Amino acid sequence: MKVFKRLIKKNSILAVLTVILTFLSIISQFVWTIYVGKIIDSIAQREGLSVRLLLTMGVILLISVAFIYSSNLISRFTAEKMAHTLRMDFIKNLLSSDGASDEKGAFEAMSKVQNELSQSSEYMSNTLFDIFSMTISGVLALIFLLFENAFLTLIIMIPMIIVCIAGRFLGQKINPLVNASMNKKIVFNKTVYSLITGFDVVNVFDAKEFFKNRFEKELNEWAEVETKKERVSAVCNSLSGILSQTPLLVLFAAGAILIWKGMLSLGGLIIFLNMTGTLLITLMNLPSWAVSMKSFMIHLSRCDV
Amino acid sequence: MNKEDNKDIIIGQNITFSYKDRIILDNQSFSFKKGEHIGIIGESGSGKSTFLKLLAGLLSPSSGTLSVDSESDPTKIMKKISMVMQDAMIMPLTIRENIALGKEIKKERMDEIIKATRLDLWTDSLPEGIDTYLGERADELSGGQAQRIAIARAIAKDADIILLDEPTSSLDKDTIKDVMEALETLIDRKSVIHVTHQTDLLKGYHRILKIGGGRIYE
């Protein structure tokens, strides 16, 4: 976190600009969604679409596009500037410390350049601001929905939380199989590597048949675990696919009742449909984002020589 | 060397051999007798290790004939020799599998080999003994432990001809002494060709040959 704070501090203007533009682009998209709801309400009530409404929507669309473009541009630029700061800080620290004076120190420093720096830079460029943007979208969507219709929001939140818990539970079922599959793959990759590097030994000690059988055994073991992983994964995906439709079904059921009772307009339901998707994506991805952020912070902390 | 074993076990006739655009042997003839211990020395890059690979049947001469224990087919030559290389080549297998490499070795024989190479001092401390898997730990082995396994592997093959390619070059002095003791068991009553730049390891050898400039000479 210390390194991350330092990077933000050194690029504070760009970071603040990114936050502001991200907020504005999300809000402009929400406003667009609200106006889509208004159009649907007008159509449902067989009212004509006013020129003013259409012009306003055109302006909102243009503003929204401008904000999305500028927020993307600035966030990528900020990420690159932060990655640049990270690399420069690393070199400055390396030159001012005695870390590179011995061979081991130099080796560790090189290892950091190759692993931590590249992983951190890549994460900043490709993931960090996307996660930031989607998290903000989710939070703003939740606040907006609560203000729009607190009852309906709370009703659809229940299956969403169930979906998140189920997703986490199903993920835990797959994780050991993913690890087992990777370990098996590492083993047969090692065998191949040994065959290449130790080919003379294999020849001299007449071990070709032994290694062929060994490789076949390892390959079969890997295939077995991989098949099991895919089978469990398919079951999990189907379950999670069905579960992920639950909030939508609940929204339709609750929304229809509210519409019949005159407590919600059709446009309002469309807004809910749109915003619920944003919220669901955020909720479902939060655990994996948290994990990726944690490993990003670890990589960053290891960049300090 | 017994007098009765005075026959030539390795015979090279008019051998010309190049490796990576470098002439290692230029029309050279040589012969090694059964039970003879031969040291091979030479400058770095002179082709000592490559020469050993030639004798092992791993490489073929450009011209000339090579016969090892009356065999000239490389596949058959390989069956006649055992080899310990500079890199012990520890595979992602158990210690036992690394030694046997797929061959059936009786328990008593394996125990003998383990003792002869003094691997027991290490394996006895492991919970699974010689059945310890070295997959993840192969890189953590000390140079001495790795070379002992390579020597044990060579003893297990029980070939009459032993080729040693600088088996102690990457070891420290104390470990060299220990590994040399294990090597004594391996080379006892065998024909040995030992490539090294450490000439003190060749004390008591019958002949020391030098490789360089396309020649092999005493």
Domain ranges of chain B: 3-217
Give the per-residue pLDDT at A109: 63
Q: List, in sequence order, every beta strand (DSSP E) within chain A.
A: none
Query: How far is C-alpha B170 from the geometric centre of its chain's CA atoms?
Result: 15
Kindly report the backbone phi and psi dihedral angles of residue B193, in degrees, each rounded to the nearest multiple of 5, phi listed first: -125, 115
Read off the pLDDT band of A104 (50, 70, 90): very low
Q: What is the pLDDT of residues B50-101, one digit of tens each?
A: 899 999 999 989 999 999 999 999 999 999 999 998 888 888 889 999 999 9
Maximal C-alpha separation, chain B: 55
Asked if pLDDT for residue A150 goes beyond 90, the answer is: no
- Please list the helix, strand and coil fractions of chain B in percent, rounded to the nearest 5, in that order: 35, 30, 35
Provide the pairing of β-strand B81-84 with B37-42: unpaired
B85–A200 CB contact, under 8 Å: yes
- Max mean pLDDT range (A94-103, B184-193, B206-215): B206-215
Q: What is the pLDDT of residues A181-206, one digit of tens each?
A: 878 887 778 788 878 888 888 999 99
Nearest CA in chain B to A197: B89
Read off the pLDDT band of A284 (50, 70, 90): confident
Kind and range of the H or E element at B37?
strand B37-42
Mean pLDDT of B129-156: 83
B91–A205 CB contact, under 8 Å: no
To the nearest whole angstrom, how far is the Cα of A200 from the nearest Cα of chain B? 7
Mean pLDDT of A277-281: 82
Give the per-residue pLDDT at B178: 76
Nearest CA in chain A to B154: A205
B58 interfacial to chain A (CB closer than 8 Å) = yes
> Distance (Å, rounded) from C-alpha A157 to C-alpha A151?
10
| CB nearest B135 (choices: A190, A197, A205) | A190
To the nearest whole angstrom, how far is the Cα of B144 from the nearest Cα of chain A? 18
Read off the pLDDT band of A290 (50, 70, 90): confident
Read off the pLDDT band of A305 (50, 70, 90): low
Query: How far is C-alpha A124 from the geometric centre of its chain's CA atoms?
Result: 12
Q: What is the pLDDT of residues A205-256, one digit of tens each?
A: 999 899 889 889 888 988 998 898 888 888 877 776 777 778 788 888 888 8
A203–B58 CB contact, under 8 Å: yes
CB B39 within 8 A of CB B164: no
Read off the pLDDT band of B121 (50, 70, 90): confident
Give the per-residue pLDDT at A294: 77
Nearest CA in chain B to A203: B78
CB B92 within 8 A of CB A190: yes
- Max mean pLDDT range (B13-22, B27-36, B82-91): B27-36
Q: At what angle do helices A2-10 and A266-301 cross, to 10 degrees?
A: 110
On the 0-12 / 13-18 / 19+ scale of CB atoms within 10 A, B13 is middle
User: CA–CA distance from B134 to each of A128, A298, B140 (Å)?
Assistant: 39, 30, 9
Q: What is the mean pLDDT of chain B?
A: 87
A196 interfacial to chain B (CB closer than 8 Å) = no
ipTM (interface predicted TM): 0.87
Lookup result for tokens 């093959």: B157
B3-217 CATH fold: Rossmann fold (3.40.50)
Mean pLDDT of A39-46: 85
> Distance (Å, rounded) from C-alpha A154 to C-alpha A233?
30
> Distance (Å, rounded) from C-alpha B163 to C-alpha B190?
10
Q: Is B27 left (phi over 0), alpha (psi -120 to 50) or beta?
A: left
Kind and range of the H or E element at B157?
helix B143-157
Lookup result for tokens 């079969």: A220
For A139-147, the CB contacts below 8 A with 24+ separation are A139/A282, A140/A23, A140/A26, A140/A27, A140/A30, A141/A30, A141/A275, A141/A276, A141/A278, A141/A279, A141/A282, A142/A279, A144/A30, A144/A275, A145/A272, A145/A275, A145/A276, A145/A279
| A122 vs B14: which has the higher pLDDT | B14
Read off the pLDDT band of A113 (50, 70, 90): low
Asked if pLDDT for residue A50 goes beyond 80, the answer is: yes
Nearest CA in chain A to B53: A200
How many CA atoms within 13 Å lie on the side-chain side of A147?
8
Give the per-residue pLDDT at A114: 65
B89 interfacial to chain A (CB closer than 8 Å) = yes
Percentage of chain A beyond pLDDT 90 is 16
| CB nearest B56 (choices: A194, A204, A210) | A204
CB atoms within 10 A of CB B43: 12
Give the per-residue pLDDT at A123: 84
Of B40, B70, B25, B8, the residue nearest B164 (C-alpha): B40
CB contacts < 8 A (A, B) = 51
Q: Locate A140 and state its tokens.
A: 């703003």
> Distance (Å, rounded) from C-alpha A21 to C-alpha A33?
18
Asked if pLDDT for residue A289 goes beyond 90, the answer is: no
**Taking the C-alpha atoms of B45, B48, B51 and B52 in order, what is their torsion angle to the nearest 10 degrees?**
-130
* Cβ within 8 Å of residue B167, ≥6 positions away: B84, B85, B86, B147, B150, B151, B179, B183
Read off the pLDDT band of B138 (50, 70, 90): low
Give the per-residue pLDDT at A148: 82
| B61 vs A303: which has the higher pLDDT | B61
Asked if pLDDT for residue B11 goes beyond 70, the answer is: yes
Range with lowest mean pLDDT among A62-71, A158-167, B103-112, B142-151 = A158-167
Give chain A's length.
305
Range with lowest mean pLDDT among A33-37, A70-74, A301-305, B124-128 = A301-305
Cα torsion B124, B130, B131, B132: sign: positive
Asked if pLDDT for residue A121 goes beyond 90, the answer is: no
- Please list the helix, strand and coil fractions of chain A in percent, rounded to the nearest 5, in that order: 90, 0, 10
Nearest CA in chain B to A184: B135
At B49 the three-state DSSP class reads helix
| CB nearest B92 (choices: A191, A200, A213) | A191
To the nearest whole angstrom, how far is the Cα of B165 from the nearest Cα of chain A? 12
Mean pLDDT of B104-119: 90
> Distance (Å, rounded) from C-alpha B14 to C-alpha A65?
82
A5 interfacial to chain B (CB closer than 8 Å) = no
> Distance (Å, rounded) from C-alpha A175 to C-alpha A181?
10
